[in-house]
Amino acid sequence: MPHAGYVFSGPVAASAYKQIPAEYVPERVFILASSHQMSFPGASVYCSGNYQTPLGTVKVDLEAGRKLTAADPLFSCREDAHLFEHSLEVQLPFLQVLLGSGFRLVPVILGTRKPEDCSQMARILKPLFTPENLFVISSDFSHYPGYEDAIHNDKITTEAILSNSPEKLLITLDDNKRKKIPGLATSLCGWTSVLTLLYMTQDSGYEFHWIDYQNSGDQILYGDHDRVVGYSAIAVYMKQ
């Protein structure tokens, strides 16, 4: 789901969270969010306390975080990676409203820009990708092209994700960059988080479903059509 300001991306994010069954209470919620503030190897798991929002405290599963850092050097406990990272924080109020205070959070900020790191981290996370745990993957789509260009480019990127192929996503992102679409800074700001998900789910009996799409130009009061950001909601299900 997206992570922009709620006035822009809130309806699309809500459409993704609406897929969670009302009776479902996960043991843990893993949020994978790519850093917008810094680059560093692998990912940081917060192991120093809890998160807090205006809706109250979100309990962090410190033991799960420490197990991840013990499992592979790519997982670290960098507090600074979490202090100003909105892409993870904006997901929390949705979870608090839907799930209350009964879940434990495993907040993961990815600092890497290397696909091989994503593949390795996916191998560690994959045994945790079970019905007891909810995984939230945070990413917006096109940044700053015109309205129509964003719609077209985001459709291509969404289809690559729906293919459940890490290789296709990487090729698609490279192809999008080579097109030199005016204003396009990135097709997928959280591409490392999405790529890690695809490495977890490929060839493992999962299927992806597109739910909703908008971009910031669809916000009547504040959006414009000259420079937009795209938002797509996608859900992953076990094949029946």
pLDDT above 90 as % of the chain: 94
Q: The pTM is what?
A: 0.96
Q: Are 233 and 12 in contact (CB under 8 A)?
A: yes
| Alpha carbons 148 and 128: distance in angstroms, whole number | 39
Work out the end-to-end distance of the chain between its first and last CA atoms, rounded to an integer number of angstroms: 23
Region 58-83 average pLDDT:
96
How does pLDDT run across 186-230, given as a tens digit for each residue? 999 999 999 999 999 998 899 999 999 999 999 988 889 999 999
Q: What is the predicted pLDDT for the residue at 239? A: 86
Please give the DSSP secondary-structure letter assigned to residue 57: E
Question: What is the C-alpha radius of gyration for the chain, rounded to an integer number of angstroms?
Answer: 17
| Alpha carbons 208 and 192: distance in angstroms, whole number | 18
Q: Are 144 and 229 in contact (CB under 8 A)?
A: yes
Torsion angle (degrees, nearest 10) of CA 110, 210, 215, 20:
-70
| Alpha carbons 8 and 13: distance in angstroms, whole number | 10
Region 124-142 average pLDDT:
97
pLDDT above 70 as % of the chain: 100
How does pLDDT run across 10-33, given as a tens digit for each residue? 999 999 999 999 889 999 999 999
Torsion angle (degrees, nearest 10) of CA 173, 69, 106, 196:
20
Side-chain-side CA neighbours of residue 58 (13 Å): 25
- Collapse the DSSP code of 28 into the 3-class scheme (helix H, G, I; strand E, B; otherwise coil) and give the result: strand
How many other C-beta atoms can be found within 10 angstroms of the C-beta atom of residue 22?
7
What's CA 154's distance to the chain center, in Å?
15
Q: Is the pLDDT of residue 240 over 80?
A: no
Q: What is the predicted pLDDT for the residue at 121? A: 98
Confidence of residue 107 (pLDDT cuts 50, 70, 90): very high
Average pLDDT, the chain: 96
The contacts found for 176-183 with CB under 8 angstroms, 24 or more apart, are: 179/153, 181/145, 181/149, 181/153, 182/145, 182/146, 182/149, 183/144, 183/145, 183/146, 183/149, 183/227
Confidence of residue 62 (pLDDT cuts 50, 70, 90): very high
Closest CA to 51 of 14, 70, 13, 79: 79
